[in-house]
């Protein structure tokens, strides 16, 4: 998914494992994707992608849509190191968060193929419009 959005191959080894403390991944009511929201005493496992430039940031922002804003957070890395990162956080009131569990593995099985098709269509058509 990330490779399709960025229009370049993102190798798994280039992603740095990290933990976002004080946040929880929750489902969005009426949608098949999650949001990450602030919540005490819980954490979210994820990865960090380094080297994202302005063009790729714009692609990620377009993919995420207007319901998110880019905010700074503190992530824990291996060996007790911390690092400032940027995450896409839901804008206040943009989504209704569900209490249903959400898992990446479940999403991948049920929805990834459909999501990949929508990204391919959006990114194939979009450059023609933006370069006129």
Domains recognised in the chain with CATH numbers: 2-130 (3.10.490.10)
Helices (H), 2-111: 2-6, 54-64, 104-110
Distance (Å, whole) CA 84 – CA 75? 6
Q: What's the average model confidence in pLDDT over 8-37?
A: 90
Share of the chain above pLDDT 70, in %: 84
pLDDT reported for residue 42: 93
Q: What is the predicted pLDDT for the residue at 114?
A: 66
What are phi and psi for residue 102, nearest 5 degrees? -130, 135
- What's the N-to-C CA distance of the chain in angstroms? 27
- Better pLDDT: 36 or 101: 36
The two beta strands, 34-49 and 68-76, are unpaired
The predicted model gives 78-96 an average pLDDT of 90
Rounded average pLDDT over 11-18: 91
Q: Are 44 and 23 in contact (CB under 8 A)?
A: yes
For residue 93, the model assigns a pLDDT of: 92
In angstroms, rounded to a whole number, what is the distance separating the alpha carbons of residues 19 and 109?
24
Is residue 94 pLDDT above 90, yes or no?
A: yes
What number is the average pLDDT over the span 95-107? Answer: 84
Give the chain's mean pLDDT.
Answer: 83
Residue 51, pLDDT > 70, answer yes
Which parts of 6-67 are beta strand (E)?
15-27, 34-49
Q: Is the pLDDT of residue 74 over 50?
A: yes
């Amino acid at each position: 998914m990330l490779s399709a959005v960025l229009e370049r191959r993102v190798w798994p080894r280039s992603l740095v494992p990290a933990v976002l403390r004080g946040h929880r991944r929750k489902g969005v009511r009426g949608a098949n994707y999650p949001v990450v929201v602030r919540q005490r005493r819980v954490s979210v496992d994820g990865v960090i992608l380094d080297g994202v430039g302005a063009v790729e940031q714009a692609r990620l922002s377009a993919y995420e849509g207007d319901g998110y804003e880019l905010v700074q957070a503190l992530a824990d890395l291996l060996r007790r190191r911390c690092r400032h990162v940027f995450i896409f956080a839901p804008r206040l009131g943009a989504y209704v968060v569900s209490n249903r569990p959400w898992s990446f593995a479940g999403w991948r099985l049920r929805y990834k193929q459909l999501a990949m098709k929508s990204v391919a269509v959006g990114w194939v058509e979009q450059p023609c419009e933006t370069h006129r």
